[in-house]
Amino acid sequence: MKIAILDLTRHPLPLLSGIPRAGECIEDWLSQGFSDTKFEIFDIAGGMDQVPSMRNFDALVVSGSERSVYDDISWHDDVSHALHESRELGKPIFGICFGHQIMASTFGGEVRRSSRDDCVGIKKFVNSDGYAFNRFVWHHDQVTRPPDCATVVASSDYCPFASLEYNFPAFSVQYHPEFDKKYFEKLLLAGDGIFLSSKQTQQALKEISRDNVPRDADLKKVRRV
């Protein structure tokens, strides 16, 4: 099996030196549940790679991003094309955070800014079976209207469309299942006062220090896509 990972997150150096890139973090996470799988990471946001043709891959993973789907982004249309191509070819798709948002937008939904400040730390979600669970989050936009081809499978008070399952092989989440506590802490500390205010950073660090979110919890769902 060959999976394409679109890394849509910029990784400014030397600020984030020593911290794995988003695509690397996703590959490390997925590798726990996908044996005999080859991953290929494409640095789209950094301008190092172009979005590949999905005819050469068995599945597509779309990462988070600092950007918004309503921004004027040079690679936006290429990512949307890859999503449409994957759907037409019947190739499974999985989206994380911005990936969740651009999937919804591409397939007919709506995305808007959720609040003035970033939602960062740990949030509680409830799945369609009524099971409550905590996940790491870092975003300022969210899906405000899901596409007609999608069903809501997890939500929260602040984010009613937190996870979507499509009527073709596709699944997406607003939260970050690929994060672990140490990785998240490093990101927050490196960007303290830059990506977030010091107050936001300290509140997020306090939240994640109190709860150890299981990193393998969403892998079974992704494997079923």
Report pLDDT digits (tens) over 129-161. 999 999 999 999 999 999 999 999 999 999 999
Q: Across the beta sheet with 170-173, what order do the strands follow?
A: 38-43, 2-7, 59-62, 93-96, 170-173, 163-166, 150-155, 119-127, 132-139
DSSP designation for 175: S
Whether residue 25 lies in the annotated active site: no
121 SS3 class: strand
Q: What percentage of the chain carries pLDDT values higher than 90?
A: 88
> What's the average model confidence in pLDDT over 109-116?
88
Whether residue 159 lies in the annotated active site: no
Q: Which of 76, 100, 139, 176 is labelled catalytic? A: 176
User: CB-hemisphere CA count at 13 Å for 125?
Assistant: 24
Cβ–Cβ < 8 Å for 150, 164: yes
> What's the average model confidence in pLDDT over 186-213?
92
- Distance CA(111)–CA(105), nearest Å, equals 6
Cβ–Cβ < 8 Å for 69, 139: no
Cβ–Cβ < 8 Å for 185, 14: no
In this prediction, residue 223 carries a pLDDT of 81
Q: Which residues pair with 150 in a beta bridge?
A: 166
Q: Which of 25, 27, 97, 165 is labelled catalytic? A: 97
In this prediction, residue 156 carries a pLDDT of 96
Residue 33, pLDDT above cutoff 80: yes
Range with the poorest average pLDDT among 10-19, 49-58, 159-168, 212-221: 212-221
- How many CB atoms neighbour CB 177 within 10 A? 23
Peptide bond into 14 cis (omega under 30): yes
- Distance CA(21)–CA(45), nearest Å, equals 11
Q: Which of 119, 159, 165, 178 is labelled catalytic? A: 178
Q: Which two tokens stand for residue 92?
A: 């499974």
In this prediction, residue 219 carries a pLDDT of 87
Identity of the highest mean pLDDT range in 9-13, 162-166, 206-210 = 162-166
In this prediction, residue 160 carries a pLDDT of 97
Residue 115, pLDDT above cutoff 80: no
Cβ–Cβ < 8 Å for 52, 4: yes
In this prediction, residue 203 carries a pLDDT of 95
